C-alpha cells in the first residue's frame, strides 16, 4: 500500500469548493491509517463564534463528563428508578406473567433501543440540550425539544413528592416498633383491625367496614387525605419539611455542573443495587416466596390476544427508558465527540430491563410471604405504584423479625432510586435552559442562580401536593402530565424527524463519524418503519381505550379536575404542531422556500464528509481535483 501524506479536510458547502486552498497534515504511516483512529473534524459552533467576539473569559465552558463512567452512571441513575420496582413486576403478573416478556421484548428491540440510542447520539452529535439539539437538526420541528422540556418541568414538580413520602416513612422507622404495626395510635379509627396481632380499636369483624393499621397510617397519618380535590385542606408541615430536605439535596447534587453530578451518581446509582441484593436474599428466604415467584413468572399465553397487554408493554418501555423526556439528549451532550454512545446505549438498555426483571423477584417473593401469612391469594396483596411502596411493603416488614431494620433498608433504597432520577432530570432541564440562552446564563454564578430559582419555584408549586388534598393533584400529574400517550406522540415525531426529514442515512454517517463504524442495520429499519408504526398504533389504541382517572378506583374527579388533567397532557403535545405553524409564519419568502429552509440542518453541525489527499506531497497545499469531487459529495465516509 502506498505510503504518503494524509489530509483530513472538513468539506464546506459545494458553492465554496472552487478555488479553496486546503492544507495537508503530515502523518507518519507504516502503510495504512489505523482503522480505529478518530477522524479529525474542525467544528466551531455558531454560538461559540458569537461568544468569542464578545471576549474570552466572560462565558464559562459548557463542560464535559470527566470520564465515560460518569455518563453511564448518570444515565443509569435517571432511567433506573421507582418504576422498575413498583410498576414492571405488577404489569408482569397482571398481563400473563412470563408471557408478558414477549410483547415487552418486541417493543424493547423495535422501540426502546432505537429511540434511546437516537436521543443519546443526537445529544452527543450536537453537544446541545433537548431544545437546541432539535432546532439545529430541523428548525421546523424544534417543538419536539420544547415539548420534552414541558414534560421535564412537570416531572420536577411532582416526582420529588415521592421522595418526601419516603423520607417521612424512613424517619418514622427509627423506632423499636413501627408505628403502622398496631391500631393503638391517636390517628387510628374504630374501624382499624390488626389481624396479625388480633387487636383493634374496636370489636370490628371482617363483615364490617374495617381498615388495616398500615392503610390508616398512610391515609390519615402521612397524607391526612380529604374527601376530594375540591377540598385541599391544610398543609402537611412534616411533608413540607421532607420536601424541602429533598430539594436541598437535589440542589447541591447539581449546582456545580456535570463534573460534580458525575461524582455524586457513583454512590446514588450503585447503592440501590446493594439494597436490592440484600432485599432479594431476604425475600427468597421467606416462607411462601416460591409461590410468589411462580405467580410472577407463570406464563398465560392467552393474555397475548388482549391488545391492552401490548399497550402496557409499549408504555412501560417508554416510561422506564426515560424516552422523549429530553434527559438522554442532555446527558449525551456532555460526552466527548468520539465516545462510543452506541455501545453505551445498548448496555444501559439491557441493564435497565435486567434490573426490572430482578426487582420482580424481590417484590413477589415478599408478596408470596404476605399471602401465606395472611391466608389470602396473592392477587389480593399485589399492588402497583405508591400502594406497593407505602402499603404492601410496610405491611410485609411488620411480619418480619427486626422489622424497623428492614423498613429502613427498603425506604433508603426507594430514596436513592428516586433521588438520582430527580436531580438528573433537574440537570437536564437546566441544561436545556442554559443552551437556549448561553450568553445570559453561562456566566459565573448565573447557572447556580438558575438552579436555585427553579428549585424554589418547583418547591412552592409542590406545596400544593403536600396539602391534605394533594394526593388528588399528584394523581392528575402522574396520570396525564407524563403519560404514555404523551411520550408515544412525541416519539412518532422524533423518529420521523431523524429518519425521513433529516435522513436516516445521513444520521448513520454522523454516528459513524463519532464511533468509527456503522451500527446494527435493524436500528435504521426501526427508525424508518417499525418504531413510527408501532408507536402510532399504540398511541391511537391508548386514545381509543382511554378511561378517566379514578383515585383508588373509587373517587371520580369533577369535570374541572379532568380538564386540568387534559391541559397537562396537551400542553406538551401541542408544542410540536404549534411551533411548526409559528416558525413557518415567522420565516420570510415563498412557502416552498420557507419549508426547505426550515428542514435544513444548521451548517455549524459537524460534517462527516472528508477528502483524502494521497499525492505524497509534504507540508504543501493540495487542491481537490474534479475527479475527486465525487469523494467529497459521496454519502459515506471515505476510508484509506
DSSP calls for 439-454: HHHSSTTHHHHHHHHH
Residue 77, annotated as binding a ligand: yes
Residue 25 has phi, psi (to 5 degrees) of -110, 120
Collapsed DSSP state (helix, strand, coil) of residue 186? coil
How far is residue 543's CA from residue 522's CA, in Å, rounded to a whole number? 29
631 or 74, which is more confident: 74
pLDDT the model gives residue 197: 57
Is pLDDT at 640 greater than 80 in this prediction? no
How far is residue 45's CA from residue 135's CA, in Å, rounded to a whole number? 13
State in Å, rounded, how far the first CA of the chain is from the last one.
10
CB of 351 within 8 A of CB of 365?
Answer: no
Is pLDDT at 346 greater than 70 in this prediction? yes
pLDDT the model gives residue 65: 94
- H/E segment holding residue 272: helix 271-284
CB of 575 within 8 A of CB of 432?
Answer: no
Dmax over CA atoms of the chain, in Å, equals 99
For 278, how many CA atoms within 13 A lie in the half-sphere containing its CB? Answer: 14
Q: At what angle do helices 258-268 and 237-254 cross, to 10 degrees?
A: 120
pLDDT the model gives residue 15: 39
All three cell numbers of 614, joined, read 494521497
- H/E segment holding residue 611: strand 610-612
Residue 553, annotated as binding a ligand: no
> Where along the chain do the CATH 1.20.1740.10 domains lie?
68-586
Q: Which fold has domain 68-586?
A: Amino acid/polyamine transporter I (1.20.1740)
Residue 352, annotated as binding a ligand: yes
Average pLDDT over every residue of 180-197: 84
How far is residue 473's CA from residue 252's CA, in Å, rounded to a whole number? 28
How far is residue 175's CA from residue 157's CA, in Å, rounded to a whole number? 31
All three cell numbers of 294, joined, read 411462580
Residue 84, annotated as binding a ligand: yes
All three cell numbers of 325, joined, read 423526556
pLDDT the model gives residue 61: 80
Is pLDDT at 610 greater than 80 in this prediction? no
Q: At what angle do helices 341-374 and 504-515 cross, to 10 degrees?
A: 100
Among residues 150, 195, 134, 471, the alpha carbon closest in space to that of 330 is found at: 134
Contacts of 358 by beta carbon, 8 Å cutoff, 6+ apart = 276, 280
Contacts of 37 by beta carbon, 8 Å cutoff, 6+ apart = none
Among residues 104, 533, 540, the alpha carbon closest in space to that of 303 is found at: 104
Residue 320, annotated as binding a ligand: yes
Other beta carbons less than 10 A from residue 493's beta carbon: 23
Other beta carbons less than 10 A from residue 393's beta carbon: 27
CB of 353 within 8 A of CB of 342?
Answer: no
* Residue 556 per-residue DSSP state: E
Other beta carbons less than 10 A from residue 395's beta carbon: 24
The b-or-e profile of 418-446 (16+ CB within 10 A means b, else e) is bbbbbbbbbbbbbbbbbbbebeebbeeee
Is pLDDT at 52 greater than 50 in this prediction? no
Could you tell me if residue 80 is left (phi over 0), alpha (psi between -120 and 50 degrees) or otherwise beta? beta
116-148 residue pLDDT tens: 999 999 999 999 999 999 999 999 999 999 999
Q: How confident is the model at residue 86 (pLDDT cuts 50, 70, 90)?
A: confident
For 402, how many CA atoms within 13 A lie in the half-sphere containing its CB? Answer: 6
All three cell numbers of 245, joined, read 430536605
pLDDT the model gives residue 607: 85
Average pLDDT of every residue of the chain: 84
Q: In this structure, what is the dihedral angle of CA atoms 282, 284, 285, 286, given to the nearest 10 degrees?
A: 90
How far is residue 544's CA from residue 258's CA, in Å, rounded to a whole number? 42
475-531 residue pLDDT tens: 999 999 988 899 999 999 999 999 999 999 999 999 999 999 999 999 999 999 999
The alpha-carbon radius of gyration of the chain (Å, integer) is: 27
Is pLDDT at 367 greater than 80 in this prediction? yes
Average pLDDT over every residue of 195-212: 56
pLDDT the model gives residue 538: 93
231-265 residue pLDDT tens: 999 999 999 999 999 999 999 999 888 888 989 99
pLDDT the model gives residue 106: 96
271-310 residue pLDDT tens: 999 999 999 999 999 999 999 999 899 899 999 999 989 9
Per-residue three-class SS string for 624-636? CCHHHHHHHHCCC
SS3 content of the chain, % helix, strand, coil (to 5): 65, 5, 30
Amino acid at each position: 500500500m502506498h505510503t504518503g501524506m494524509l489530509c483530513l479536510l472538513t468539506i464546506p458547502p459545494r458553492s465554496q469548493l472552487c478555488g479553496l486552498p486546503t492544507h495537508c497534515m503530515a502523518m507518519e504511516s507504516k502503510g495504512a491509517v489505523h482503522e480505529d483512529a478518530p477522524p479529525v473534524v474542525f467544528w466551531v459552533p455558531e454560538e461559540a463564534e458569537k461568544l468569542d467576539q464578545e471576549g474570552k473569559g466572560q462565558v464559562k465552558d459548557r463542560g464535559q463528563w470527566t470520564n465515560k463512567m460518569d455518563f453511564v452512571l448518570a444515565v443509569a441513575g435517571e432511567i433506573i428508578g421507582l418504576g422498575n420496582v413498583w410498576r414492571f413486576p405488577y404489569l408482569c403478573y397482571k398481563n400473563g406473567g412470563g408471557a408478558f416478556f414477549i410483547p415487552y421484548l418486541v417493543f424493547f428491540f423495535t422501540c426502546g433501543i432505537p429511540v434511546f440510542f437516537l436521543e443519546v447520539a443526537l445529544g452527543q452529535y450536537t453537544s446541545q440540550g433537548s431544545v437546541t439539539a432539535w432546532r439545529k437538526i430541523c428548525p421546523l420541528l424544534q417543538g419536539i425539544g420544547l415539548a420534552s422540556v414541558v414534560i421535564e418541568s412537570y416531572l420536577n414538580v411532582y416526582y420529588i413528592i415521592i421522595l418526601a413520602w419516603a423520607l417521612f416513612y424512613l424517619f418514622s422507622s427509627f423506632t423499636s416498633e413501627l408505628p403502622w404495626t398496631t391500631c393503638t395510635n391517636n390517628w387510628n379509627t374504630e374501624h382499624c383491625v390488626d389481624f396479625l396481632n388480633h387487636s383493634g380499636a374496636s370489636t370490628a369483624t371482617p363483615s364490617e367496614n374495617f381498615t388495616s393499621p398500615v392503610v390508616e397510617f398512610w391515609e390519615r397519618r402521612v397524607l391526612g387525605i380529604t374527601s376530594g380535590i375540591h377540598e385541599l385542606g391544610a398543609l402537611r408541615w412534616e411533608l413540607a419539611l421532607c420536601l424541602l430536605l429533598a430539594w436541598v439535596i437535589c440542589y447541591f447534587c447539581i449546582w456545580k455542573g456535570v463534573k460534580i453530578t458525575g461524582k455524586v451518581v457513583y454512590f446514588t446509582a450503585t447503592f440501590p443495587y446493594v439494597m436490592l441484593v440484600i432485599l432479594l436474599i431476604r425475600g427468597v428466604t421467606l416462607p411462601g416466596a416460591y409461590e410468589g415467584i411462580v405467580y410472577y413468572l407463570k406464563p398465560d399465553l392467552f393474555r397475548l390476544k388482549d391488545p391492552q397487554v401490548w399497550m402496557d408493554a409499549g408504555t412501560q418501555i417508554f416510561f422506564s427508558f426515560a424516552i422523549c423526556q429530553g434527559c438522554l439528549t442532555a446527558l449525551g451532550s456532555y460526552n466527548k465527540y468520539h465516545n462510543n454512545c452506541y455501545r453505551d446505549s445498548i448496555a444501559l438498555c439491557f441493564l435497565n430491563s435486567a434490573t426490572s426483571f430482578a426487582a420482580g423477584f424481590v417484590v413477589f417473593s415478599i408478596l408470596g410471604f404476605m399471602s401465606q401469612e395472611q391466608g389470602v391469594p396473592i392477587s389480593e396483596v399485589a399492588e402497583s405504584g405508591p400502594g406497593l411502596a407505602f402499603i404492601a411493603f410496610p405491611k410485609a416488614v411488620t411480619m418480619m423479625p427486626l422489622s424497623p431494620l428492614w423498613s429502613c433498608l427498603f425506604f433508603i433504597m426507594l430514596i436513592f432510586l428516586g433521588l438520582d432520577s430527580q436531580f438528573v432530570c433537574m440537570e437536564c432541564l437546566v441544561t436545556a435552559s442554559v443552551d437556549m440562552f448561553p450568553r445570559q446564563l453561562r456566566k459565573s454564578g448565573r447557572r447556580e442562580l438558575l438552579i436555585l430559582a427553579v428549585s424554589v419555584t418547583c418547591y412552592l408549586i409542590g406545596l400544593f401536593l403536600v396539602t391534605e388534598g394533594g394526593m388528588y393533584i399528584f394523581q392528575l400529574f402522574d396520570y396525564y402530565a407524563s403519560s404514555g400517550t404523551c411520550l408515544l406522540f412525541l416519539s412518532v415525531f422524533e423518529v420521523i424527524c431523524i429518519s425521513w426529514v433529516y435522513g436516516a442515512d445521513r444520521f448513520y454517517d454522523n454516528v459513524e463519524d463519532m464511533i468509527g463504524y456503522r451500527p446494527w442495520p435493524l436500528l435504521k429499519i426501526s427508525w424508518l418503519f417499525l418504531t413510527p408504526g408501532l408507536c402510532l398504533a399504540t398511541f391511537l389504541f391508548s386514545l381509543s381505550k382511554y378511561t378517566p382517572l379514578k383515585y383508588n378506583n373509587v373517587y371520580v374527579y369533577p369535570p374541572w379536575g379532568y380538564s386540568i388533567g387534559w391541559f397537562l397532557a396537551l400542553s406538551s403535545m401541542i408544542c410540536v404542531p404549534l411551533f411548526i405553524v409559528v416558525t413557518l409564519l415567522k420565516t420570510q419568502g415563498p412557502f416552498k422556500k420557507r419549508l426547505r429552509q426550515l428542514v435544513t440542518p444548521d451548517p455549524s453541525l459537524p460534517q462527516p464528509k472528508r477528502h483524502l489527499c494521497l499525492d505524497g506531497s509534504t507540508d504543501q497545499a493540495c487542491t481537490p481535483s474534479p475527479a475527486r469531487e465525487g469523494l467529497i459529495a459521496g454519502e459515506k465516509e471515505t476510508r484509506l
